[in-house]
Amino acid sequence: MDGGDGNRAYGHQTFTRSGSHFTDRITADGRDGRPVQEGRYRLVVSRACPWASRAVISRRLLGLEGGLSTAVADPVQDDRSWPFTLDPGGRDPVLGIRFLSEAYDRREAGHPGGVSVPAVVDVPSGRLVTNDHQRLTLDPATEWTALHRTGAPDLYPAGRRAEIDRVMAEVYEDVNNGVYRAGFATRRKEYEEACAGVFRRLELIAGRLAGRRYLVGDTLTEADIRLFTTLVRFDAVYHGHFKCNRWELTENPVLWVYARDLFQTPGSGDTVDFDHIKRHCYQVHTGINPTGIVPLGPDLSGWSAPHHREELGGRPFGDGTPPGPVPPGERVAPEGRPA
C-alpha cells in the first residue's frame, strides 16, 4: 500500500501504515453489490510497490489477465498521486484519467487517507471500488474462480488458511511492514527495534524454509507471494535505503535460494521491475534520500542462477499448471530476470 503522498505520511515521528479506507469486496455472488464480472474492473498498480505487486503476481498465477485488466502507474509519483505518464498522452487508456486520485475523488470527494495502490476501479463509473491491499489478493484467489485460467493454482487452500494467516501476519508485522518502520524511523530506538525485528523474523523464516520448499504445505501460496515481494526488494532498496543492513539477501544461504526459486517460477519473477522499484524509492522518499540519486547497484545477475530447491520436492502449482507467457503489453524489461 504505497500512498501518493508518501512524504507527508512518512513525516510522522513514528511510521504508521494507515488502514485502507475503501474496503468493498468483489465477490462471486455479488453479496456486497460488487459481483465478479469479466472486464468490469481495472486493477491499478505500481510495479514499485510491494503491496501492489502481490496482486500483480496473484493475477498472473491465476490467469486473470483477460478478466481483470491492469493499469501500471509511473513509479515516481508526486503530490497529485500516482500518474499514468507511462501511457500515451499521460492518461490511462481505459479509465481516461491522468492520476489515480481522480478515481478516488469520484468515489468520495475529500476522502481521508492517501491515494494508494493497489486499487480496483469500476470501469463503467470510473469510481474506486477498493484499496484494501490485504483483501485484494485473497479475493481474486477465492472469489474470482469463475474467471481463473484452466490449471490455476489454489493460492489460499481452505484446509491451510489458519496457518497461512498466521504466517502472513508475522511476516507482515516484522518484515513486510518492518522494513518501512526501519526505513522511515526518525528516532534511533524505533529504527533499531524495527531493524532487529526484520532480521529476527527473517532468521526464523530461514530456519523454517531450510528443509521445505514453501512456507505452508508443499505448494506456492499467498504466504510465499507476500514474503517474496519483500525479499525481491531487499538488496535493491531495503538494505541501503531503509538501512536494513545486517546482511544482504544474497548472504543468507536459505532465503537467497528460496527467493531465486520464486523469482524463476513463471508468474512471479516475470512481474518484477527493478527499475521501477529503485526509482520509486530513491526518487520519491526525499526525506531519507534528499539528492534523489538512484544507485547503480546491486548486481542483479545472480537472480537467474540455479537454485536447486526442486530437490526439496514441493509442487509449485499443486494440481495445477504454470501460467503461460506474459501477455505482450505487460512485459517488463528483462534486467535481472531469467532469459
Should residue 293 be labelled a site residue for its own copies when binding is judged by CB under 8 A?
Answer: yes
- Write the interaction track for its own copies spanning residues 187-216; mark x where CB under 8 A is met and - where it is not: -x--xx--xx--------------------
Q: How far is CA 35 from CA 30, 39, 307, 318, in A?
A: 4, 12, 41, 28
> Angle between the 222-233 and 135-142 helix axes, to the nearest 10 degrees?
140
**Closest separation between CB of residue 186 and its own copies, Å?**
5
180 has catalytic annotation: yes
CA of residue 108 relative to chain centroid, distance: 25
Q: How many residues interact with its own copies (rule CB under 8 A)?
A: 30
Three cell numbers at 178? 518492518
Is 49 designated active site?
A: yes
* Of 164 and 182, CB closest to its own copies: 182
Q: Rounded to the nearest 5°, which phi and psi values hold at 3?
A: -85, 160
**What's the half-sphere exposure (Cβ side, CA atoms, 13 Å) at 213?**
20
Binds its own copies (CB under 8 A): choice among 7, 37, 245, 304: 245
Q: How far is the CB of 266 from its own copies (least distance, A)?
A: 29
β-partners of residue 27 are 35
Q: How far is the CB of 280 from its own copies (least distance, A)?
A: 16
Cα 22 to Cα 42: distance, rounded to the nearest angstrom:
15
Q: Is 243 a binder of its own copies (CB under 8 A)?
A: yes
Tell me which of 10, 104, 156, 180 is the catalytic residue: 180
Exposure letters 54-79 (e unless 16+ CB within 10 A, then b):
bbbbbbbbbbbbebbbbbbbbbbbee
Q: Where are the alpha helices (DSSP H) in 188-294?
A: 188-209, 222-233, 253-263, 274-284
Q: Is the omega angle on the peptide bond into residue 118 within 30 degrees of 0, that is, cis? A: yes
27 binds its own copies (CB under 8 A): no
Site string for its own copies, 246-285 (x = CB under 8 A): xxx-xx----------------------------------
* Least distance (Å) between residue 239 CB and its own copies: 7
- Angle, to 10 degrees, between the axis of helix 188-209 and the axis of helix 161-171? 140
150/301 with CB nearer its own copies? 301
Please say which residue, 109 or 296, places its beta carbon nearer to its own copies.
296
Catalytic-labelled residue, pool 41, 49, 195, 282: 49
Q: Which of 211, 296, 311, 339 binds its own copies (CB under 8 A)?
A: 296
Residues identified as active-site: 49, 180
Write out the residues near its own copies by the rule CB under 8 A: 185-186, 188, 191-192, 195-196, 239-241, 243-248, 250-251, 287-291, 293-299
